[in-house]
Structure 1
């Protein structure tokens, strides 16, 4: 199984790339984290947020592995604890399908895309920079894995 973080946005600062790389390289070979950056749609002139999100939806769908479980990140999504995420990670591993965790662009994710996702989750009630969400998500996936392994990284 692979975990794909599909994130709208590109050309992140070096500290974002370093943070993401740090946590993704800690993952074991059987559940690697892969990042797929999706170029955002520039909003100019007559392009509304809805138009931009619909165009980004097409780019996102093209980047996702076929048959993957789609988990969309959304401010109205389910608020999970790290332990709950570890339980989902265990279920996902048993299922064997790839998992795509999708981070939208500045305007969020298209409503149709979110409706087709298997789950909506929220990283924080705070508004975070999209690049930082990549780092936090990678860290939480590593933490979830460490919980499943009784690794001391996660302390109660």
Structure 2
């Protein structure tokens, strides 16, 4: 199974990109032993539409068009369910065990996700009730992917 983070917007060179890349690299290396064949990130261009609803719709369409066939999708959304790392790891493990070809975490633009994407998402997850910049959400998503892989492999990184 492949895991990907698809996000609206571009991360500039700097500490946010470095930290995101570090966690994605760790996840990719650790994941091979447990059947995760790739861990990657993809950036989608921000919409230039004047209205927020139009921006959300355009960005949702771009994110949806970029999904691999048969992917399980997790929309990171402020209105989503808050789950713990063990449950997230169980979701990753379950998808892997069902031979799902890909699991994709979706990060919307500054206005959030469009309704078409939220309707299509297999699950909607919130990283708590706080609002975070998209750069930080990308780091958190990459770290949680790495943490899930360490939980599934029995590595001591996660201490509950």
Q: TM-score range by the shorter chain?
A: over 0.9
* Residue 16 of structure 1 pairs with residue 16 of structure 2: yes
Extract structure 1 runs of 4+ deviating beyond 3 A. Answer: none
Q: What residue ranges of structure 1 are gaps of 5+ in the alignment? A: none
Q: What residue ranges of structure 2 are gaps of 5+ in the alignment? A: none
> In the alignment, which residue of structure 2 is the partner of 1:81?
84
With normalisation by structure 2, the TM-score equals 0.90
Choose from 119, 126, 133 the match for 1:115: 119
How do 1:99-114 and structure 2 match up within 5 A? 99-114=103-118
Deviation larger for 106-115 or 7-16: 7-16
Q: Distance in 1 between matches of 2:51 and 2:68?
A: 28
Q: Distance in 2 between matches of 1:138 and 1:125?
A: 19
- Structural RMSD (CA): 1.3
CA contact (8 A) 1:12 1:131 kept: no
Offset at 1:95?
1.7
Offset at 1:14?
1.4
* Residue 50 of structure 1 pairs with residue 53 of structure 2: yes
Q: How many residues align?
A: 153
* Residue 33 of structure 1 pairs with residue 36 of structure 2: no
Q: Distance in 2 between matches of 1:145 and 1:3?
A: 11
> In the alignment, which residue of structure 1 is the partner of 2:128?
124
Offset at 1:60?
0.9
CA contact (8 A) 1:10 1:37 kept: yes
1:24 counterpart SS class: helix
* Residues 98-140 of structure 1, C-alpha deviations (whole Å, 9 max, x = no match): 0111000000000121011111011121111101111111101
